[in-house]
Amino acid sequence: MATPQTNPSRHVLLTGGSSGIGLEAARQLLRAGHQLTLLCRDAAAADRLRAELGAAVATPICDLADLESVVACAAELQGRGQPIDTLVLNAGLQYSGAKAPRWSAQGFELTVAVNHLAHQALLQRLLGLLAAGSASRLVITASEVHDPSSSGGKVGQPAGLGTLAGLKQGPGAAMLDGSAFNAEKAYKDSKLCNLLMAREAARRLQEAGLALPVLAWSPGLVIPRREGGFFRYSRVHNPAGQALFALVARDLLQLTESPQRAGALLAGLATTTPEQPQAFEYWSNRVLGPGRRRFERTEPSAEARSDGLARQLWELSAQHVCPAGAEPGDSPAAPH
Ligand SMILES: NC(=O)c1ccc[n+]([C@@H]2O[C@H](COP(=O)([O-])OP(=O)(O)OC[C@H]3O[C@@H](n4cnc5c(N)ncnc54)[C@H](OP(=O)(O)O)[C@@H]3O)[C@@H](O)[C@H]2O)c1
């Protein structure tokens, strides 16, 4: 991607920096001399990260499954007042195969609560600090499965937000479109939300005169060899199926990306200056064949390109995560 020119030391704030792609990116960013703030689910994760990466890494607690924790973390960061050069919204989970929904502390379906709502809550509250950063940018980890025409996106029920009936209902709705619970679709929908939120954030930033690049990206399929990682919750529901899937996709067909390389792609997006930065870009790590991939700028799905849906999703989500008057510390210029 872009030019090899890398910004000197940047302050990078990541969600999802305690495992998988985010942890690999954090390791590489640290080695390159950048300053990191890694939001951690709990004190155990924070202790583990500081033990590995060193005490210079800031590890505030932020449980993305609890909006109160997100609000408290954002307030702590605002109180600290350190500008953010790159905000990376990367945390995510999936629990494929589950028959029943899991719920966030406020009663939202967990996949959408963590992958989308908590990130919009953070974004709205941290825009002021991001606007104060140097050559600021926003990076959001999405997935190709948001697109029903992609190879992963066409397996099972496709992503689709309908009229957002579930989001309008709020807590207790199992799916954003108001349909019956389907764990795989909930994940695809949450990744569609990532793209729509990225596009709407870029539009609002431009409107507010804050032209900073918003970079959404898809890492490709990343199945680590060790226990844990992204498929840990799905494995609980279908251990044999997940083992077979890993064997075929990773070891036989070689369709997967390594965590190290995916982390390098994320670290690059967080720190490398695009040659001709656009307000919004979507980068995808496309499979070309066994063991061959190309990281390239591309178009998100047709639904992800809907301006009206992006605006409606932002506004409805904001009503749940940022009720009027609950955005302390945003710069006056930051869009709401
Ligand atoms: N792996 C893939 O094949 C793949 C493909 C496409 C897109 N993606 C996307 O890539 C991103 C990173 O995934 P990954 O593969 O690196 O998965 P991972 O190893 O499971 O990492 C997920 C990260 O999200 C954090 N997280 C989850 N729930 C949280 C919560 N309630 N509060 C705070 N943090 C929470 C995890 O924290 P803990 O360490 O505390 O659990 C972890 O740091 C996700 O957005 C995912 O959707 C992954």
Q: What is the CATH number of the domain that holds 44?
A: 3.40.50.720
Task: Establish if 217 belongs to a structural domain.
Answer: yes
Task: Report the separation in Å between the CA atom of 325 and the middle of ligand 1, taken as the mean of its atom positions.
Answer: 31
Q: Whose CA is nearest to atom 42 of ligand 1?
A: 16
Range list of β-strands (E), 8-159? 11-15, 35-39, 86-89, 137-141
Task: Establish if 24 belongs to a structural domain.
Answer: yes
Domain containing 164 equals 5-321
Task: Report the separation in Å between the CA atom of 92 and the middle of ligand 1, taken as the mean of its atom positions.
Answer: 4
Task: Report the separation in Å between the CA atom of 272 and the middle of ligand 1, taken as the mean of its atom positions.
Answer: 23
Task: Establish if 134 belongs to a structural domain.
Answer: yes
Task: Establish if 222 belongs to a structural domain.
Answer: yes
pTM above 0.85, yes or no: yes
Q: Whose CA is nearest to atom 7 of ligand 1?
A: 143
Task: Report the separation in Å between the CA atom of 20 and the middle of ligand 1, taken as the mean of its atom positions.
Answer: 7
Buried (b) or exposed (e) across 75-97, using 16+ Cβ within 10 A? eebbeeeeebbbbbbbbbbbbbb
Q: One digit per residue, pLDDT tens: the chain, 336 residues?
A: 444 456 689 999 999 999 999 999 999 999 999 999 999 999 999 999 999 999 999 999 999 999 999 999 999 999 999 999 999 999 999 999 899 999 999 999 999 999 999 999 999 999 999 999 999 999 999 999 999 999 899 999 999 999 999 999 999 999 999 999 999 999 999 999 999 999 999 999 999 998 899 999 999 999 988 888 888 888 888 888 888 888 888 988 888 999 999 999 999 999 997 777 789 999 999 999 888 999 999 999 999 999 999 999 999 999 999 876 544 334 333 444
Give the number of residues written for the chain: 336
Contact 290, 254 (CB under 8 A): yes
Burial of 5 (0-12, 13-18, 19+ CB in 10 A): exposed
Residue 6 β-bridge partners = 272
- Residue from 93, 147, 227 whose mutation best tests the ligand 1 pocket (most atoms within 8 A of CB): 93
Task: Establish if 329 belongs to a structural domain.
Answer: no
Task: Establish if 246 belongs to a structural domain.
Answer: yes
- Residue from 14, 15, 18 whose mutation best tests the ligand 1 pocket (most atoms within 8 A of CB): 18
- Rounded CA-CA distance 108/97 in Å is 19
Task: Establish if 22 belongs to a structural domain.
Answer: yes
DSSP code, position 283: E
- Rounded CA-CA distance 239/249 in Å is 15
Residues with CB under 6 A from ligand 1: 16, 18-22, 41, 45, 63-65, 90-93, 114, 141, 143, 218-219, 221-222, 229-230
Task: Establish if 334 belongs to a structural domain.
Answer: no
Task: Report the separation in Å between the CA atom of 33 and the middle of ligand 1, taken as the mean of its atom positions.
Answer: 24
- Rounded CA-CA distance 86/217 in Å is 15
Burial of 102 (0-12, 13-18, 19+ CB in 10 A): middle
Counting the structural domains of the chain, the total is 1
